[in-house]
A and B are shown apart, each in its own frame.
Chain A
Amino acid sequence: MVTEALTTRARRIKGNADAIFDWVASSDPRREHSLCRPADIKLRIGHITDMHVPSEVQLLERLRDFTTNDSLTDFAYKISAFSNAFLHEYSDTRELYTTILRKTLLGMRRAGVDHLSITGDLAHCGLETEFLEMQSVLRMTGWWDSGQLSVVPGNHDRFNLYERFAREPMETFFDVPSTRKPRFRELPGGVVLFEMDSNADRIDDRHFMEELFPNTVGRIYPEELAYFESQKEKFAGYRVITLMHHHLSDDWYDIGAETILGSLMGPVDGADTLMEATELIDPNAVFLHGHKHDLMVPDYTIGSHQISCPGGFAETLAVNFVDVTVNDEVVITQARVRV
């Protein structure tokens, strides 16, 4: 049984992070191949994305769903639901997946992470049970209610394949920003996180393809840029790290048919403007995102901006450690949990 004591004690866990993770690569090629917290940093942020925590699914149940269709759209949604559920790496071993997530987040404790950032797609089908499962993982590992956690929504958290049925939104389970309403979170060491929901507005600005397939499109709205601008005096001189779900560019992965045919899974609309806007505070603002499940090299940049995406966790089992050095430089180190 998880007692309060264990949850709190998990925060104090120490040890060898290299026993849990494999060092993969670092944006600083001078760094040693170790995940121990370096002495020259003032802040370490753990970045994990697209965990897609699955729920209990049964093949026959999903096949039975196909026997009642209201429309072609309904059928397309069910196809989407079916493939979504069964293409998950751990769809039939979800308990193991939960323990892998626990191991990863405890490993981040061992690595001396000060703040944990999750850039969306915590849930696989946006169901309550999936949010609760992820919540239990965060609770067990001591990140829940610790004030050291930032979560932004992904497209899988916002739509769900049963969206026509009554369900609880992500906000019921997680404290997250919503579309057009971003927010700042100040961290120690002159670092500020810009947390935003990069999903397109599902009510007032729904993408045409969502008639058939659920929300996979990201968009930056003027309200979000205006909000950023309004805070520029307050955070002048800070290092800005933007947390969002959708990706900013498409030159780091193979483009699939869904992008060519349906303009789905492409970069977020308005990426250039967003990057320009962040330069108002930090000309070298860093962006952490997810959405694409490909692994991005840790030294990837667009213009003056370092960008990081450790890919879909279920596939890559990868996380990033984002270190802010005492010289305000940002070093991104990629690691893979040993399973």
Chain B
Amino acid sequence: MTTTFSTELSEVSEVEEVSVAVAEIYEKLPRDFQAQWEAIQGHNPAELVDRVLRDFDDHPEERREILIAYLAQRLGLSWAFNRQETLVEKPLWLLLDRKTYESLSPGDLEIVYLIATSSRRSRPALEPRAALAAIALWRNGDEAMHARAQEVLLNHPLPSDLDWLFELMRVLAARVTDLEVESFRRLFDLLSLQHRAGFQSLVGLALGLYFARRYGVFWRGTSRPNVIRACDEAASDYTPRMLPWLQLAAEAAVIGKLTLPWMEPLVAAAIRHEPDPGKRQIYRDFHRLRTYRITKARVAELYAGPLRLVRSGDTHAGASLLANVDAMWDSNPARARDLLELLIAETGSTRGNRGARLTRVLEAVEDVDPLVERLLALYVITFDLRNTAVVMTRRLRGRVDWDRFGVTDLDLDVYLAGADYNESLRGQMVQYGGLQIEHIDKDAAALVHYFRTKRDKVSAITKLVQNFVAPPDWLATQIGESSFVDSLFHQTMVSFERISRERDHGQHVLRLMKAEGDHQHFHEIHGASALVVLRVAQHARHKALLSAAAIGAVAGGLAPMTAGASAVFDAPFVMALTAEVCAATCWYFGIDPSEDPELPIIILAIALSGSRTDLRKPEDVHRKLHSFLIRKSMILAALGQGSFRSVLGPTLGAGIELVSARSGRMASRGRLLRIIKREADTEWSRRLLTGVNVYGLPLIEGITGAVLNTALMYDICESAEAVLTDRFLDRKYPDWKRSW
């Protein structure tokens, strides 16, 4: 293993001739900034430079940290009043000010130069603090130092970090700061220097931020729309003093082939104001290609005038825009496509927005014209993922002379296969759970797998209802749980199930399936994608959930007014709905439930007992449902029968009973009950409870009823989907191992 850096440091510190102070700095590097700061205090700069150069030749970062800490102390920054983040950055920003710079000794300036050259050779750009040091020396240093710093700035670009660069523009573009130095040391000269060094990208970025600073004082400078807006303003706000900036922007854009969106207005302005015809032509040739990356909204904004003329029937404007499209064909096909779409949209009716107009025009196309032909080619070239683009390309594929636009058969095939989700997946097989299945069925297989694994227990709501112990002395309990009612419930369920099984939903399902794909006959559903089938089956689920919630809400809401009777009488509706959902869902999966009568029972059994249940006998399953419904009704009836007080009182009493039985502190029980009773008997609490009884109870009852019914119905729907998907995959893949 390599020797670690900390080991090397400790070895250095052991050398006798190293002064104690310097050794301390080394030992505390690189993490303990405060200790390092204290160790540097009062240190001799010459010795520090000497040691740092000798021992940190290969570690410019550490060298920089020590030197900046030293510089901060020289500039009078205090550890006590500044955060560490401030101390490691602020000294360099301060040096951009001439007066602060002039307060440094020649020895200190050498330290600044060492910081300026502390970027590694392998680093693409200057480290931000090194860049600040270099700029400070270049702006404020004497001629020799200016030349040395210039060398650094010619060899390395400034950092491209937007926040840093914007701050630099903010500081240097301030009029006072910029005018305090000679004319060849100003911000413009700095950017020109970077341009001469070949760092056009950086210059383009900096120019945008410069104009954002100048024209958008109150905007967020690094936001792209703000920079574009600022450059728009700059381009229209021409004064002769602006010309060099515009020329610099145009030169950088042409040489660096810049695509930054805010360069467009600047280059356009440079073309307008450039006095030299030769240069103007060079700018124009570049500008004609429109390589700038802009959004479609911006395209619409830039071409708003000509597009309006096209709408008013000006054919010359249309031809001119088409020429623009052709000019951008290779250099910026995405922009060419956007412009062409806008142009085509203007040829249609005026109703609706541009997107809707374009869609209408394209949908009406039967024979391709030169515009549509070009647009389709651009869709392929730009790999447009929009559904309209894919559908249009497929529909008109045979009618376009693709060769004319350089689009090959391979391009077309790959585009149509890639941009259409299903196209390339059709027939593709994957290994799932040790079985070869179609790729499009993998999510359905996962659904079965996760349902079987995750839903082995019933939900907390179902469990709560199932565990509800109805008082045995209640008449409702005695009647509801009698064997007569149980037998009646079973018979009724059997009848409901028979009726539901015999109802034919085939045509309805087929209609829904036709909307999803090319399915003409019911039996073709077996061969469809399981995902499509599941998507269509969501119709049944949504209807069932809404119906269950509505029935529960009405039954619960009416319970206080009907002495709880409505809570009992919603049971037949829920039974009918349950039977209907269990049977009707089968149709969505291409299964006629009358041919497989045990399926609805399996679905119901799993919904009520979890995915691993062995319940299969109809009477057992119905008993489970009966038990659930009778308890659910009793909960609602109990809530609605009296008042909050009659529910809260016994509940509190039972709770106290339980606590005192566990803690054994029976003596405190009576006292606690007395306190509760006393508090509940005040005038205020009586009014509150009356108000809640009158207005709140039906609402709470309604919500409770809806939640309980929805929870039951969700479980039924979910288990129906899982069981039926399992059956569906079993029919489709002979090797599929059925779970239920």
| A interface residues (Cβ-Cβ under 8 A, vs B) | 1-2, 6, 9-10, 12-13, 15-16, 18-20, 22-23, 25-34, 55-56, 60-61, 64-65, 67-69, 95-96, 98-100, 102-103, 106-107, 127-129, 132-133, 135-136, 139-141, 162, 165-166, 225-226, 229, 272-273, 276-277, 279-280, 284, 297-299, 301, 303-304, 306, 331, 338-339
User: Are A65 and B414 neighbours in the complex by a CB distance under 8 Å?
Assistant: no
The answer, yes or no, to whether B15 is at the interface (CB within 8 Å) is no
User: Are B418 and A303 neighbours in the complex by a CB distance under 8 Å?
Assistant: no
- Chain A residues whose C-beta falls within 8 Å of the C-beta of B461 in the assembled complex: 67
Contact of A99 among B201, B334, B418, B427 (CB under 8 A): B418
A6 to B200, CA, bound (A): 41
The answer, yes or no, to whether B594 is at the interface (CB within 8 Å) is no
Query: Which among B168-176, B443-451, B509-517, B728-736 touches the partner chain?
Result: B443-451
Contact of B410 among A12, A135, A162, A276 (CB under 8 A): A12
A284 to B423, CA, bound (A): 45
Query: Which among B75-83, B252-260, B661-669 touches the partner chain?
Result: B252-260
15 other contacts beyond A29-B160, A30-B199, A56-B447, with CB at 8 A cut-off?
A: A1-B428, A2-B417, A9-B410, A15-B381, A29-B125, A29-B157, A29-B198, A29-B199, A102-B419, A106-B414, A128-B432, A162-B454, A165-B450, A306-B122, A331-B124
User: Are B453 and A165 neighbours in the complex by a CB distance under 8 Å?
Assistant: yes
Contact of A13 among B120, B257, B411, B460 (CB under 8 A): B411
A135 to B430, CA, bound (A): 10
A107 to B198, CA, bound (A): 28
User: Are B333 and A19 neighbours in the complex by a CB distance under 8 Å?
Assistant: yes
A243 to B122, CA, bound (A): 20
Q: Closest Cβ of chain B: how far from A227's Cβ, in Å? A: 12
- Chain B residues whose C-beta falls within 8 Å of the C-beta of A106 in the assembled complex: 383, 414, 418
Given A19-B382, A276-B5, are A132 and B432 also a contact pair (CB < 8 Å)? yes
A6 to B308, CA, bound (A): 44
User: Are A303 and B424 neighbours in the complex by a CB distance under 8 Å?
Assistant: no
Which chain B residues numbered 456 to 476 have a C-beta less than 8 Å away from chain A? 457-461
Q: Closest Cβ of chain A: how far from B281's Cβ, in Å? A: 21
User: Are A279 and B2 neighbours in the complex by a CB distance under 8 Å?
Assistant: yes
User: Are A166 and B453 neighbours in the complex by a CB distance under 8 Å?
Assistant: yes
A86 to B656, CA, bound (A): 42
Q: Closest Cβ of chain A: how far from B355's Cβ, in Å? A: 16
The answer, yes or no, to whether B45 is at the interface (CB within 8 Å) is no
A127 to B711, CA, bound (A): 27
Q: Closest Cβ of chain B: how far from A233's Cβ, in Å? A: 15
User: Are A9 and B414 neighbours in the complex by a CB distance under 8 Å?
Assistant: yes
Q: Closest Cβ of chain A: how far from B442's Cβ, in Å? A: 5
Given A29-B125, A132-B442, A141-B418, are A277 and B259 also a contact pair (CB < 8 Å)? no
**29 residue pairs bridging A and B, Cβ less than 8 Å apart:** A6-B417, A6-B424, A10-B414, A12-B410, A13-B410, A16-B330, A19-B334, A19-B381, A25-B160, A25-B201, A27-B125, A29-B199, A29-B202, A30-B199, A30-B201, A33-B257, A56-B446, A56-B447, A65-B454, A69-B460, A95-B421, A103-B383, A129-B446, A139-B428, A272-B5, A277-B1, A299-B159, A301-B120, A301-B124
- Chain B residues whose C-beta falls within 8 Å of the C-beta of A18 in the assembled complex: 332-333
The answer, yes or no, to whether B268 is at the interface (CB within 8 Å) is no
Q: Closest Cβ of chain A: how far from B110's Cβ, in Å? A: 24
Interface 1/0 per residue, B306-343 and A, CB below 8 Å: 00000000000000000000000010111000000000
User: Are A13 and B383 neighbours in the complex by a CB distance under 8 Å?
Assistant: no
User: Are B385 and A22 neighbours in the complex by a CB distance under 8 Å?
Assistant: no
A178 to B454, CA, bound (A): 28
Given A99-B418, A129-B443, A226-B1, are A20 and B714 also a contact pair (CB < 8 Å)? no
Contact of B383 among A32, A107, A280 (CB under 8 A): A107
Given A25-B160, A30-B200, A136-B425, are A299 and B124 also a contact pair (CB < 8 Å)? yes
A135 to B446, CA, bound (A): 16
Tell me the count of chain B residues lying within 8 A, CB to CB, of chain A. Answer: 70
- Chain B residues whose C-beta falls within 8 Å of the C-beta of A12 in the assembled complex: 410
User: Are B120 and A162 neighbours in the complex by a CB distance under 8 Å?
Assistant: no
User: Are B411 and A338 neighbours in the complex by a CB distance under 8 Å?
Assistant: no
User: Are B123 and A1 neighbours in the complex by a CB distance under 8 Å?
Assistant: no
Contact of B124 among A13, A23, A28, A129 (CB under 8 A): A28
A15 to B377, CA, bound (A): 13
Contact of A20 among B293, B382, B423, B432 (CB under 8 A): B382
Q: Closest Cβ of chain A: how far from B357's Cβ, in Å? A: 22
- Chain A residues whose C-beta falls within 8 Å of the C-beta of B256 in the assembled complex: 30, 32-33
- Chain A residues whose C-beta falls within 8 Å of the C-beta of B442 in the assembled complex: 128-129, 132-133
Q: Closest Cβ of chain B: how far from A235's Cβ, in Å? A: 16
Contact of B120 among A1, A140, A303 (CB under 8 A): A303
* CB-based A-B contact count at 8 angstroms: 186
- Chain A residues whose C-beta falls within 8 Å of the C-beta of B159 in the assembled complex: 297, 299
User: Are A55 and B443 neighbours in the complex by a CB distance under 8 Å?
Assistant: yes
Which chain B residues numbered 406 to 441 have a C-beta less than 8 Å away from chain A? 410-411, 413-414, 417-421, 423-428, 430, 432, 439
Given A1-B428, A19-B333, are A299 and B123 also a contact pair (CB < 8 Å)? yes
The answer, yes or no, to whether B483 is at the interface (CB within 8 Å) is no
The answer, yes or no, to whether B4 is at the interface (CB within 8 Å) is yes
A102 to B384, CA, bound (A): 12
- Chain B residues whose C-beta falls within 8 Å of the C-beta of A303 in the assembled complex: 61, 120
- Chain A residues whose C-beta falls within 8 Å of the C-beta of B419 in the assembled complex: 99, 102-103
User: Are B453 and A20 neighbours in the complex by a CB distance under 8 Å?
Assistant: no
Contact of A64 among B1, B260, B443, B718 (CB under 8 A): B718
- Chain A residues whose C-beta falls within 8 Å of the C-beta of B1 in the assembled complex: 225-226, 229, 277
Q: Closest Cβ of chain B: how far from A211's Cβ, in Å? A: 21
Residue in A25, A31, A301 whose Cβ sees the most chain B Cβ within 10 Å: A301
- Chain A residues whose C-beta falls within 8 Å of the C-beta of B417 in the assembled complex: 2, 6, 140
- Chain A residues whose C-beta falls within 8 Å of the C-beta of B201 in the assembled complex: 25-26, 29-31, 33
Q: Closest Cβ of chain B: how far from A67's Cβ, in Å? A: 4
The answer, yes or no, to whether B192 is at the interface (CB within 8 Å) is no
User: Are B381 and A64 neighbours in the complex by a CB distance under 8 Å?
Assistant: no
The answer, yes or no, to whether B615 is at the interface (CB within 8 Å) is no
The answer, yes or no, to whether B566 is at the interface (CB within 8 Å) is no
User: Are A99 and B381 neighbours in the complex by a CB distance under 8 Å?
Assistant: no
A303 to B122, CA, bound (A): 9
- Chain B residues whose C-beta falls within 8 Å of the C-beta of A132 in the assembled complex: 430, 432, 439, 442
Which chain B residues numbered 202 to 260 have a C-beta less than 8 Å away from chain A? 202, 256-260
- Chain A residues whose C-beta falls within 8 Å of the C-beta of B198 in the assembled complex: 29-30
User: Are A273 and B4 neighbours in the complex by a CB distance under 8 Å?
Assistant: yes
- Chain B residues whose C-beta falls within 8 Å of the C-beta of A129 in the assembled complex: 432, 442-443, 446
Given A132-B439, A140-B417, are A16 and B446 also a contact pair (CB < 8 Å)? no
The answer, yes or no, to whether B117 is at the interface (CB within 8 Å) is no
Q: Closest Cβ of chain A: how far from B611's Cβ, in Å? A: 11
A263 to B514, CA, bound (A): 53
User: Are B424 and A304 neighbours in the complex by a CB distance under 8 Å?
Assistant: no
Residue in B4, B124, B259, B411 whose Cβ sees the most chain A Cβ within 10 Å: B124
- Smallest Cβ-Cβ distance to B203: which chain A residue: A29
User: Are A33 and B291 neighbours in the complex by a CB distance under 8 Å?
Assistant: yes
- Smallest Cβ-Cβ distance to A26: which chain B residue: B201
The answer, yes or no, to whether B190 is at the interface (CB within 8 Å) is no
Given A96-B385, A299-B125, are A16 and B418 also a contact pair (CB < 8 Å)? no
- Chain B residues whose C-beta falls within 8 Å of the C-beta of A301 in the assembled complex: 120, 122-124
Q: Closest Cβ of chain A: how far from B254's Cβ, in Å? A: 11
A30 to B160, CA, bound (A): 13
- Smallest Cβ-Cβ distance to B446: which chain A residue: A129
User: Are B124 and A127 neighbours in the complex by a CB distance under 8 Å?
Assistant: no
A98 to B455, CA, bound (A): 29
Given A28-B124, A165-B450, are A100 and B430 also a contact pair (CB < 8 Å)? no
- Smallest Cβ-Cβ distance to A31: which chain B residue: B201
Which chain B residues numbered 321 to 375 have a C-beta less than 8 Å away from chain A? 330, 332-334
- Chain B residues whose C-beta falls within 8 Å of the C-beta of A103 in the assembled complex: 383, 385, 418-419
The answer, yes or no, to whether B574 is at the interface (CB within 8 Å) is no
- Chain B residues whose C-beta falls within 8 Å of the C-beta of A338 in the assembled complex: 334, 382
